[in-house]
Chain A
Amino acid sequence: MRPEHWLFTIPLRLRSLFRWAQADQELDDELRDHLERKTNEYIAKGMAPEEARRRARLDLGGIEQTKEKCREARRVNWIQDFVQDLHFGLRMLRKSPGFAAAAVLTLALGIGANTAIFSYIDAWFIKPLPFPHPDRLVIFETQDKKHGWTSGGVTSAADFFDFQKQNTSFEETVAWTVSNFNLTSDGSPELVEGGRVSCNYFDALAAKPILGRTFTSEDDRSGAPHVVVLSGGLWQGRYAGDPKIIGRSISIGGEAYTVVGVMPGTFQFPLMGVANLWTPLALTDQQRTDRGNVWSPAFGRLKPGVTLEQARAETATFFAHLSKEFPQTNTNLTWLVSSMTDRIRTEEGGPEVTICFAIVGLVLLIACANVANLMLARAASRTKEFAVRGALGATGRRLARQLLTESMLLFLLGGVGGLLFGLWGMRWIESQIPGHIRAYIVNYGHVDLDFTTLAFTAGITLSCGLTFGLAPAFGSSRLDVNRTLKEASSQASGSSQSARMRRIFVAAEIALAAVVLISATLLVKSFIISVRSSPGFNPANAMVAQLTLPRTKYTQDSQVRNFSEEALARIRTLPGVASASVASYVPFGGFGRGIEFEVVGRPLQPGERQGAPFTAVSRDYFSTMQIGLVKGRFFDSTDAYGSPTSVVVGQTMAGQLWPDEDPIGKKLQLGEQRTLGTIVGVVNDVKIYDLRQRRSWHIYVPMAQFPSRNLAYAVRTAGDATTMDTAIRDAIWSVDRDQPVSSAPMTTLIATVDAGNRVVARLMVFFGTLAMFLGAIGIYGVMAHLVSQKIHEIGIRMALGASPAQVMCMVISQGLKLVLIGVGAGVLVALGATRSLATMLYQVAPSDPLTFIAVPVLFAFVALVACYVPARRGMRVDPLVALRYE
Chain B
Amino acid sequence: MSKPLDLVQGTLDMLLLKILAVEPMNGFAVSQRLKQVSGDVLHVSDGSLYPALHKLEQEGWITAEWKTSEYGRRAKYYSLTRHGRLQLEKEADNWGRLSSAISRVIKLKEA
Contacts and interface: CB of A to CB of B under 8 A. Distances in A.
Interface of A: 5, 8-9, 12-13, 16, 26-27, 29-31, 33-34, 36-38, 59-62, 65-66, 69-70, 72-75
Contacts of B95: none
A61 B74 CA distance: 23
A38 B55 CA distance: 22
B76 interface: yes
A565 to B, nearest CB: 98
Contact of A29 (B28, B60, B74, B83): B74
9 tightest CB-CB pairs across the interface, nearest first?
A61-B47, A73-B54, A69-B51, A73-B55, A37-B28, A70-B54, A60-B46, A30-B76, A59-B46
Given A30-B27, A31-B50, A61 B45 contact: yes
A60 B76 CA distance: 17
B75 A70 contact: no
B47 A62 contact: yes
A16 B58 contact: yes
A31 to B, nearest CB: 7
A34 B46 contact: yes
A8 B28 CA distance: 27
B53 to A, nearest CB: 8
B40 interface: no
Given A5-B60, A16-B58, A60 B47 contact: yes
Nearest to A30: B76
30 contacts: A5-B60, A5-B83, A8-B60, A8-B83, A9-B59, A9-B60, A12-B58, A12-B60, A16-B58, A26-B66, A29-B74, A30-B27, A30-B75, A33-B69, A34-B50, A36-B73, A37-B71, A59-B45, A60-B45, A61-B46, A66-B46, A66-B47, A69-B47, A69-B50, A70-B51, A70-B54, A73-B55, A73-B58, A74-B58, A75-B58
Interface string B57-94: 11110000010010101111000000100000000000
Given A9-B60, A34-B27, A61-B45, A73 B51 contact: yes
A60 B46 CA distance: 5
Contacts of A5: 60, 83
Contacts of A8: 60, 83
Nearest to B63: A12
Given A33-B26, A33-B73, A33-B74, 19 more contacts: A8-B83, A9-B58, A13-B58, A16-B58, A27-B54, A30-B76, A34-B27, A36-B71, A37-B28, A37-B71, A38-B46, A59-B46, A60-B45, A61-B45, A61-B47, A62-B47, A65-B47, A66-B46, A73-B52
Q: From DSSP, what is the main secondary structure of chain B's interface residues?
A: helix
Contact of B47 (A16, A27, A30, A59): A59
Q: From DSSP, what is the main secondary structure of chain A's interface residues?
A: helix
Contacts of A66: 46-47, 50-51
Contacts of A75: 58
Interface of B: 26-28, 45-48, 50-52, 54-55, 57-60, 66, 69, 71, 73-76, 83
Contacts of B28: 33-34, 37-38
Contacts of B45: 59-61
A561 B14 CA distance: 108
A74 B53 CA distance: 10
B50 A70 contact: yes
A61 B69 CA distance: 24
Nearest to A4: B83
Contacts of B58: 9, 12-13, 16, 73-75
The interface centre, meaning the residue of B50, B69, B71, B73 with most chain A CB atoms within 10 A of its CB, is: B50
The interface centre, meaning the residue of A12, A30, A60, A72 with most chain B CB atoms within 10 A of its CB, is: A30
A36 B45 CA distance: 16
A208 B6 CA distance: 79
A58 to B, nearest CB: 9
Contacts of B57: 12
B70 to A, nearest CB: 10
Contacts of A26: 66, 76
B54 A74 contact: yes
Nearest to B81: A8
A697 to B, nearest CB: 85
Nearest to B87: A5
Contacts of B60: 5, 8-9, 12
Contacts of B83: 5, 8
A19 B46 CA distance: 25
Contacts of B27: 30, 33-34
A47 to B, nearest CB: 16
A33 B76 contact: yes
A65 B47 CA distance: 8
B28 to A, nearest CB: 4
A188 B69 CA distance: 101
Contacts of A60: 45-47
A60 B51 CA distance: 11
A65 B74 CA distance: 23
A17 to B, nearest CB: 11
Nearest to B69: A33
A58 B27 CA distance: 17
A624 to B, nearest CB: 91
A437 to B, nearest CB: 65
Contacts of B26: 30, 33
The interface centre, meaning the residue of A38, A59, A61, A70 with most chain B CB atoms within 10 A of its CB, is: A70
Nearest to B73: A33
A60 B45 CA distance: 7
A34 B71 CA distance: 12
A9 B57 CA distance: 9
A30 B74 CA distance: 8
Nearest to B71: A36
A27 B76 CA distance: 9
A286 to B, nearest CB: 90
Contacts of A27: 54
A72 B54 CA distance: 9
A265 B71 CA distance: 85
B49 to A, nearest CB: 9
A29 B52 CA distance: 17
Contacts of B71: 36-37
A5 B82 CA distance: 11
A281 to B, nearest CB: 78
A150 B57 CA distance: 79
A29 B71 CA distance: 13
A62 B58 CA distance: 23
Contacts of A16: 58
Contacts of B69: 33
Contacts of B46: 34, 38, 59-61, 66
Nearest to A70: B54
